[in-house]
Amino acid sequence: MEMAERILFITGKLAESALRRQLAVLAPQVGFEYDVAVMPITVAALLTTPWIAKRLQMPDGADRIVLPGLCKGDVAALRTITAVPVQLGPKDLRDLPEFFGRRSGPPEDYGPHDIAIVAEINHAPQKSLAEIVRIANHYRDSGADFIDLGCDPGSTWAGVREAVKELKSQGFRISIDSFDVGEVRLALEAGAELVLSVSGVNLADASRMLRDFPHAEVVAVPDTPDDLPSLWRTVDVLKENGVKHRLDPIVEPIGFGFAASLGRYLETRRRFPDAEIMMGIGNLTELTDSDTAGMNVLLAGFCQEVGIRSVLATEVINWGRTAVQEFALARRLVHYAVTHKTLPKRLEPNLVLLRDPKLHELGEVALAELAERITDPNYRIFAERGELHILNGDHYLRGTDPFALFSELLKLDSKLDASHSFYLGYEFAKAVTALTLGKQYTQDNALRWGFLTVPETGHRV
């Protein structure tokens, strides 16, 4: 019988009990045996590899050493005392299950998608070429497949040819959003591929012009959103003229026919089972007082199930400033859910922004145990079950008001200086935010905001 791997976990005195409880559950699940070496230091985060090398007593039979993730120094320092492989574990021991591969996140085949994003640069004629290129690069970095140049009605944009040529030279695929035939022709001559939009209003002129550009594709829309027969008539003319096209029945804002407009997409799919269909999702993300990540997931799910293979998105309103990247993440989530017939859950943590996917709590007993065992003056801050907890070797305070806690702390600790006070205030602010929103607070670590998370260097660096 093959022997199970034996792993030596190194920790400080405070984390010993929690680590042993975690390993007692995890080791049988993963299939390893373990030893725990408790170093003569209170907080594992203060460990350094040279310090460990001078004090570690290696047990017999260890196959691997796992250090606390916050341990500083080169793991090569331990080669002076052992040839056993050494690696850094997670920064939080509660993440050990994920460290050993027992995660609930995306599987290996997660990521493919089949919905293209056309990202619109609104009022492009009013922007400089440099600004257009900057926005286009932002959209491409966010996951866009096409850059749509949104034109202004009432005039022909003289710079459209130059803009399209420059974007094409940088590898962008271009869409032109205009009803002006002259403007569209200039864009198509420069290499634009997609034209938004064609209806009964401009159908005759557009059909004649598009015969000269067989590479071009147009988006057909109804004359008015609730007039689907007008869309069918436009499609018939485009087919007669051999013009490539995709259909957009037009999704309407909430309160202006939103539910009925979704029904029109279903009707369009029934009538044209093989047609390419597009949805302009900005009528929801830009015109609804709500964070856009959740809306993008729902819209992407509808598109995936109906077979809508392209969306028109934009980022004008401030709350929608990351809408393109949100949809880029959402299309992967819904593609996996629909093709694998599984719930879109615990697959895309980057879209859980406001709250956290899960919370870890020490609990009343563990916090009391910590308070009894801590002997040094360094403050530890915890936020759980609606309260802030701050403790060191002399004090343990808890409460819901950070100002009241700090005021009490000032009475008890005469050694608090400006620098330390600033640090505690900063950590309190993060902790209160975490309690308010239902997020995980871990001292000296950034709060998690999904794909918007900005890593925190930490005060010890």
Q: What is the pLDDT of residues 7-39, one digit of tens each?
A: 999 998 888 888 998 899 899 989 999 999 999
pLDDT in tens, 411-441: 999 889 999 999 999 999 999 999 999 999 9
Q: How far apart are CA 14 and CA 370, in angstroms?
A: 6
Q: How far apart are CA 63 and CA 370, in angstroms?
A: 31
Ranges of CATH 3.40.50 domains, the chain? 5-99
Contacts (Cβ under 8 Å, ≥6 apart) of 90: 69, 96, 98, 99
pLDDT in tens, 234-270: 999 999 999 999 999 999 999 999 999 999 999 999 9
Asked if residues 67 and 87 have their Cβ atoms less than 8 Å apart, the reply is yes
Angstrom CA distances, 457 to 68, 380, 442, 446, 452, stand at: 17, 18, 13, 8, 16
Q: Is the pTM of this model over 0.85?
A: no
pLDDT at 4: 86
Ranges of CATH 3.20.20.20 domains, the chain? 116-347
Name the architecture of domain 116-347: Alpha-Beta Barrel (3.20)
pLDDT at 459: 56
Contacts (Cβ under 8 Å, ≥6 apart) of 210: 195, 216, 218, 241, 243
pLDDT at 259: 97
**Fold entry, domain 5-99:** Rossmann fold (3.40.50)
User: Which of the four pLDDT bands, split at 50, 70 and 90, describes residue 351?
Assistant: very high
Look at residue 460 and tell me whether its pLDDT is greater than 60. no
Looking at the chain, the number of H-run helices and the number of E-run strands are 15, 15
- Cis peptide before 261, with omega less than 30 degrees from 0? no
pLDDT at 461: 38
